[in-house]
Amino acid sequence: MLIKPRTLSGFKDRLPQDALRKEDIITTLMQTFRSFGYAPIETPHLEYAEILLNQGGEEIKKELYRFQDHGERDVALRFDLTVPLARFASQYKQELGLPFKRYAIGNVFRGERAQAGRYREFTQCDFDFIGSTSINSDAEIIQVIHDSLKALGIERFTISINNRKIMNGLCAHLGLESQTESLLRIIDKKDKIGDEKLKEELEKLEVGSEAVDSVLQFVAQNGTDRAFLEQVKSSAYNDLMREGIDELIHAFAILESCIDSDCLHFDFSIARGLGYYTGMVYETRLTDCPGIGSVSSGGRYDNLTQTFDKEPLPGVGASIGLDRLLAALDQLGDTPTTSTPATALLTLMDAAHAPEIYRIASQIRQAGIALETYPAPDKMKKQLSYANKKGFAYAIFAGESELESRTLTLKNLITGEQKEQVSLEVAITTLAEERS
């Protein structure tokens, strides 16, 4: 009996044209991370459930893919790359030395309710700067976000920045220390729910209308430059708020010197839901895809490894949401048109020519050009229809007369233009131009 070929609900395959683009994006991101000295690390997809559970919230516990392995160990698939990093950093801290800068690009698993655009297995791209408390490292993480998006050809985006210290200072001033987390969780939704609903939600906390007004007024503030930060600082309620603002001023001074600082935006409504952030936090939105949400978020945490180690280990890091980024590129009309990584298809006109054809293919490849050889002497119409379907830029013909004269015929499949009696050298130059 035949089995119906299908994937699990919430899981997806990628066909060549999607997978090619995703792989190209990952390569660009890796190069960017590496250019700053971030090194890759690798941890298993499967861990002791105990390792993962202790740092995940209630939500995560429900969504964890957890089971007993062959040795009756309680194991689970990782739900993010941060908890494995914490485990890794504690386990190897002697060998690694500090500071330690790593990136990790890998799949994580969450048994969420199935919904459009959300997958139960998805790819995360994380980069973290561990063991430094210097604001320079916070600035660098923001610079990496900036350089990564630029390297991907994305020009219009905003990195919105806040500092937990400012928010904690505000809460302290209002006597709301014990409610800081609930407060931040509500503020985090501002963008989604709007100001009116935000007010309603804050009122439910029963902190008094004066506090609600103060919070609403404060989180409505935003600006793009040092002058704005200085002005907020001058009216800050306490030292903790001033410390937080000074950190932003410091980071801004660095970032102004090394990135297009027009993309920076200070916004006190940026809260980041996650509990472990303790300093600067940020989110990144693409100007032309507002509906997609943040494509890169991150921040500073005081103690990454607290469940594994008594000694605190501070750090700062961010994550690029690859699936969102791919969705954004689709929205921006940057849809891939080819499902082949090769520039040209070398056709096969006569079975007896195969050794010659394979030799020519090899010579073109040695010049750095990706080239596919059609494997059988099928009708030329069939070979060309294959070439067009896959999206090759060129078809190359080498029949009897070409082989005799040691030339090639090149057909540009986009313009339809055909050049005959092209030498191998000229063919290589033409193909190399196409590729770039």
70 binds its own copies (CB under 8 A): yes
Residues from 141 through 170 that contact its own copies (CB under 8 A): 143, 147
Rg, the chain, Cα only: 27
Closer of 311 and 334 to its own copies (Cβ): 311
**Considering only 166-174, 212-220, 300-308, 412-420, which stretch makes contact with its own copies by CB under 8 A?**
300-308
354 binds its own copies (CB under 8 A): yes
362 binds its own copies (CB under 8 A): yes
Q: What is the x/- site pattern for its own copies, positions 4-43, by CB under 8 A?
A: xxxxxx-xxxxxxxxxx-xx---x--x---xxxxxxxxxx
Give CA 98 to chain center in angstroms. 25
341 binds its own copies (CB under 8 A): yes
Residues from 390 through 419 that contact its own copies (CB under 8 A): 390
**Considering only 128-136, 177-185, 294-302, 402-410, which stretch makes contact with its own copies by CB under 8 A?**
128-136
Q: List Cβ neighbours of 156 (8 Å cut-off, separation of 6 or more).
A: 286, 287, 288
**Considering only 62-70, 192-200, 290-298, 401-409, which stretch makes contact with its own copies by CB under 8 A?**
62-70
107 binds its own copies (CB under 8 A): yes
Among 365, 380, 399, 429, binds its own copies (CB under 8 A): 365
Residues from 238 through 277 that contact its own copies (CB under 8 A): 253-254, 256-259
Q: Which of 187, 144, 146, 149 is nearest to 38 (CA)?
A: 144
Among 80, 81, 109, 145, binds its own copies (CB under 8 A): 109
Q: Which of 261, 277, 298, 247 is nearest to 126 (CA)?
A: 298
> 111 vs 43, 44, 79, 118, 156, CA distance in Å?
21, 19, 9, 10, 34
CB of 321 to its own copies, least distance (A): 17
Among 125, 139, 149, 292, binds its own copies (CB under 8 A): 139
Residues from 202 through 231 that contact its own copies (CB under 8 A): none
Closer of 75 and 270 to its own copies (Cβ): 75
CB of 197 to its own copies, least distance (A): 31
| Rounded Cα distance, 337 and 392, in Å | 10
| Rounded Cα distance, 169 and 44, in Å | 40
Token pair listed for 385:
């229809």
Q: Which of 28, 243, 35, 242 is nearest to 140 (CA)?
A: 35
Residue 105 and residue 325 in contact, taking contact as beta carbons nearer than 8 Å: no
CB of 173 to its own copies, least distance (A): 29
| Rounded Cα distance, 366 and 230, in Å | 59
| Rounded Cα distance, 411 and 390, in Å | 15
Token pair listed for 34:
């590496």
CB of 177 to its own copies, least distance (A): 26
CB of 148 to its own copies, least distance (A): 12
Q: List Cβ neighbours of 261 (8 Å cut-off, separation of 6 or more).
A: 252, 255
